[in-house]
């Protein structure tokens, strides 16, 4: 890890695609808060790059919108931060523009300070290759005068082949240690708590295996529909948009072995081993091990073909083929326009093998551990308790912990700071990305071409097609934050 805290260390964050939504809503507020709290090096600069006609002032004003919530109580700090923001009009794929940017950034370091740089690609994915190649051509990735790191947004490729091709371009101009493939889900407090929960406690780890776990559910549910972005979404669908990235990363964190150390390599090695062990289906098996749906009205949206078969809901069943998890299904589910917005991991333990209590023929409720990523970030553990009264009956009760709302910061803030500090733990390595596509590609293929895969319509505001309930198998139900005991 390169130190950036010395007095001679200067940092410049160059954002390509600076006139876009991500910069305004996420990156500018996150950088502002990091700056305000003194988390960034004292000497820092922020350079926005896009093709739109703007000057420094109009760019800063455009950013204020995104930072309004933070600004509400600190205009003075914003003004100081804004003084460090520059806008350079140009294209990220054009050598002449890049040379102007290079010159400006080098100029900040004319006092002999170290020229550390982070290039953030807040760009359409189609521009990643051209931008990386241009940065390489212009010598802007050479680490002679400080570090050069590149943050690449998701999606990283659209299938295994394109991800491999992009990784090849990445590795032709950068070392893997300079690349930060971001998946903002991993910056969420509760996702990191999963590591603490699993590896800083002893009581769960002995149970965390096929002997005690019936199945695992990983759900990322959205109540919003495509919100006018259907044109983009139609080319991606739920598999590419959500499952290949966020959901498989969550699965890897749930299923991995304890890493030897807290270092980024140890963590990413264990995640990669899980992804390597996950079932890679043939096309027809992928069809049988999945359910797909599309909300009614999707095809009427702008940019969507009348006959579009893009899935806005999906549930897939995966197996992690290793000693710990053999035979335990991992149900991974995501969808749009659903009845609730929630992200949750549910670990369903097995029912006791024998009951001595009067349950009127019903099984006692098996233990359930729910890790809620959003909303109400926290952990719930359901356990059986004696029903109060003279009879010896049982009833499920819940132990709950919730993070205090004020300590949850936006995940971009955490991840940007990690990039500044050179910590790649929460960024996805090239092999993880490629293995994720190896898992997802057969589902994409099956959903496009297998006669065994049917597209089920569902009404907006429901929990997706009913077939998804049957898909879980007997005695299993989907859990969500609204699920009652
Ligand atoms: P936008 O389309 O809103 O912004 C992209 C910006 O790139 C545009 O404003 C455009 O501005 C600029 N641009 C286009 N061509 C060039 C070029 N050659 N050189 C420099 N700038 C260029 O996209 P988003 O901000 O929504 O997303 C950016 C990336 O982040 C995408 O990969 C997306 O998938 C990812 N992402 C976004 C999220 C979000 O919440 N928005 C969440 C997760 C990921 P101009 O015309 O002025 O050049």
Confidence of residue 8 (pLDDT cuts 50, 70, 90): confident
Confidence of residue 219 (pLDDT cuts 50, 70, 90): very high
Q: What is the pLDDT of residue 485?
A: 40
Contact between residue 85 and residue 59 where contact means Cβ atoms under 8 Å apart: yes
Q: What is the pLDDT of residue 2?
A: 41
CA distances from 289 to 249, 441, 457 (A): 19, 13, 18
Residue 360 appears among annotated catalytic residues: no
Vertex 97 angle, CA 95 and 125, to 5°: 80
How many C-beta atoms lie closer than 10 Å to residue 482's C-beta?
A: 9
Fill in the DSSP letter of residue 36: H
Tell whether the model's pLDDT for residue 17 goes beyond 70.
yes
Per-residue pLDDT tens digits for 406-429: 666 789 999 999 999 999 999 999
Per-residue pLDDT tens digits for 178-206: 999 999 999 988 888 999 999 999 999 99
> Does 50 sit in the ligand 1 pocket, CB within 6 Å?
yes
Confidence of residue 363 (pLDDT cuts 50, 70, 90): confident
Q: What is the pLDDT of residue 215?
A: 98
Q: Going by CA atoms, what residue is nearest to atom 6 of ligand 1?
A: 17
Name the residue with tokens 């990983």: 218
Contact between residue 33 and residue 68 where contact means Cβ atoms under 8 Å apart: no
Contact between residue 447 and residue 292 where contact means Cβ atoms under 8 Å apart: yes
Contact between residue 208 and residue 274 where contact means Cβ atoms under 8 Å apart: no
> Does 125 sit in the ligand 1 pocket, CB within 6 Å?
yes
Tell whether the model's pLDDT for residue 237 goes beyond 70.
yes
Which of ligand 1's atoms lies nearest the C-alpha of 25? 40
DSSP E strand stretches across 172-212: 179-181
CA distance 427 to 415: 8
CATH topology for the 186-409+430-471 domain = Dihydrodipicolinate Reductase; domain 2 (3.30.360)
Average pLDDT over residues 119-141: 97
Average pLDDT over residues 33-58: 95
> Does 242 sit in the ligand 1 pocket, CB within 6 Å?
no
By mean pLDDT, which of 161-175, 231-245, 306-320, 394-408 is the weakest?
A: 394-408
The listed CATH number (3.40.50.880, 3.40.50.720, 2.40.110.10, 3.40.50.12780) that belongs to domain 9-153: 3.40.50.720
* Percentage above 90 pLDDT, the chain: 82
Confidence of residue 5 (pLDDT cuts 50, 70, 90): low
Higher pLDDT, 72 or 87: 87
Q: What is the pLDDT of residue 47?
A: 98
Cis bond upstream, residue 155 (ω within 30): yes
> Does 153 sit in the ligand 1 pocket, CB within 6 Å?
yes
Q: What is the pLDDT of residue 1?
A: 42
Per-residue pLDDT tens digits for 298-313: 999 999 999 999 999 9
* Catalytic site residue from 246, 354, 380, 481: 246
Cis bond upstream, residue 66 (ω within 30): no
Which of ligand 1's atoms lies nearest the C-alpha of 121? 29
Same fold, 9-153 and 186-409+430-471: no
**Which letter, b or e, does each residue of 226-243 get, where b requires 16 or more Cβ atoms within 10 Å of its Cβ?**
beeebeebbeebbbbbbb
Closest by CA to 234, choosing from 299, 160, 164, is 299
Q: What is the pLDDT of residue 407?
A: 62
Average pLDDT over residues 458-485: 86
Q: Going by CA atoms, what residue is nearest to atom 13 of ligand 1?
A: 17
How many C-beta atoms lie closer than 10 Å to residue 399's C-beta?
A: 10
Q: Going by CA atoms, what residue is nearest to atom 20 of ligand 1?
A: 50
DSSP states of 277-328 as a string? Answer: HB----HHHHHHTEEEEEETTGGGSTT--TT----SEEEEEEEB-STTTTT-
> Does 129 sit in the ligand 1 pocket, CB within 6 Å?
no
First to last CA, the chain: 47
Q: Going by CA atoms, what residue is nearest to atom 1 of ligand 1?
A: 20
Task: Tell me the pairing of strands 290-295 and 455-458.
Answer: parallel
Confidence of residue 392 (pLDDT cuts 50, 70, 90): confident
Handedness of CA 79, 81, 83, 87 (dihedral sign): negative
Task: Tell me the pairing of strands 148-152 and 213-221.
Answer: unpaired
Q: Is 34 exposed, middle or buried (0-12, 13-18, 19+ CB in 10 A)?
A: buried
> Does 158 sit in the ligand 1 pocket, CB within 6 Å?
no
Q: What is the pLDDT of residue 406?
A: 67
Q: What is the pLDDT of residue 228?
A: 84
Average pLDDT over residues 73-88: 91
| Residue of 18, 22, 28, 158 to test ligand 1 pocket, by largest number of atoms within 8 Å of CB | 22
Where do the domains of the chain lie?
9-153, 186-409+430-471
Per-residue pLDDT tens digits for 150-160: 999 999 999 99
Contact between residue 328 and residue 216 where contact means Cβ atoms under 8 Å apart: yes
CA distance 71 to 252: 37
Q: What is the pLDDT of residue 394?
A: 87
By mean pLDDT, which of 97-101, 289-293, 305-309 is the weakest?
A: 305-309
Q: What is the pLDDT of residue 470?
A: 94
How far away, in angstroms, is 20 Cα from ligand 1 center? 5
Q: Going by CA atoms, what residue is nearest to atom 14 of ligand 1?
A: 17
Q: Going by CA atoms, what residue is nearest to atom 3 of ligand 1?
A: 20
Per-residue pLDDT tens digits for 304-354: 999 999 999 999 999 999 999 999 999 999 999 999 999 999 999 999 988
Higher pLDDT, 80 or 482: 80
């Amino acid at each position: 890890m390169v130190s950036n805290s010395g007095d001679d260390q200067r940092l410049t964050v160059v954002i390509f695609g600076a006139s876009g939504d991500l910069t305004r809503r996420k990156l500018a507020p996150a950088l502002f808060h990091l700056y305000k709290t003194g988390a960034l090096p004292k000497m820092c600069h922020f350079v926005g790059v896009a093709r739109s006609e703007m000057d420094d002032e109009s760019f800063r004003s455009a950013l204020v919108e995104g930072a309004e919530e933070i600004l509400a109580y600190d205009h003075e700090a914003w003004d100081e931060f804004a003084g460090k923001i520059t806008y350079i009009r140009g294209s990220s794929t054009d050598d002449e523009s890049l040379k102007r940017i290079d010159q400006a950034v080098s100029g900040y370091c004319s006092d002999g300070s170290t020229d550390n740089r982070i290039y953030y690609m807040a760009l359409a994915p189609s521009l990643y290759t051209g931008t990386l190649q241009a940065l390489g051509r212009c010598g802007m990735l050479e680490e002679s005068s400080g570090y050069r790191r590149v943050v690449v947004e998701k999606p990283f490729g659209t299938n295994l082949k394109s991800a491999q091709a992009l990784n090849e371009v990445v590795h032709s101009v950068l070392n893997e240690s300079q690349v930060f493939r971001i998946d903002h889900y991993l910056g969420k407090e509760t996702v990191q708590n999963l590591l603490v929960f699993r590896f800083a406690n002893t009581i769960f780890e002995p149970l965390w295996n096929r002997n005690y776990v019936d199945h695992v559910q990983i759900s990322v549910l959205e109540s919003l529909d495509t919100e006018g972005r259907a044109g983009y979404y139609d080319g991606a669908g739920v598999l590419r948009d959500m499952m290949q990235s966020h959901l498989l990363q969550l699965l890897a964190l749930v299923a991995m072995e304890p890493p030897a150390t807290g270092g980024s390599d140890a963590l990413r090695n264990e995640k990669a081993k899980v992804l390597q062990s996950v079932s890679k289906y043939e096309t027809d098996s992928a069809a049988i091990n999945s359910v797909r749906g599309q909300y009614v009205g999707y095809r009427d949206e702008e940019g969507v073909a009348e006959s579009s078969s893009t899935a806005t809901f999906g549930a897939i069943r995966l197996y992690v083929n290793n000693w710990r998890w053999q035979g335990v299904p991992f149900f991974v589910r995501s969808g749009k326009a659903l009845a609730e917005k929630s992200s949750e991991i549910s670990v369903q333990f097995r029912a006791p093998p024998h009951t001595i209590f009067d349950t009127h023929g019903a099984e006692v409720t098996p233990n359930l551990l729910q890790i809620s990523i959003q909303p109400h970030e926290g952990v719930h553990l359901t356990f059986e308790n004696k029903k109060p009264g003279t009879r010896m009956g049982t009833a499920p009760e819940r132990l709950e912990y919730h993070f205090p709302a004020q300590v949850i910061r936006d995940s971009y803030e955490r991840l940007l700071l990690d990039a500044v500090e050179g910590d790649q733990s929460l960024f996805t390595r090239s092999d993880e990305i490629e293995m994720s596509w190896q898992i997802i590609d057969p589902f994409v293929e099956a959903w496009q071409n297998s006669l065994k895969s049917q597209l089920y319509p569902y009404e907006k505001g429901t929990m997706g097609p009913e077939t998804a309930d049957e898909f879980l198998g007997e005695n299993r139900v989907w859990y969500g934050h609204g699920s009652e005991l």
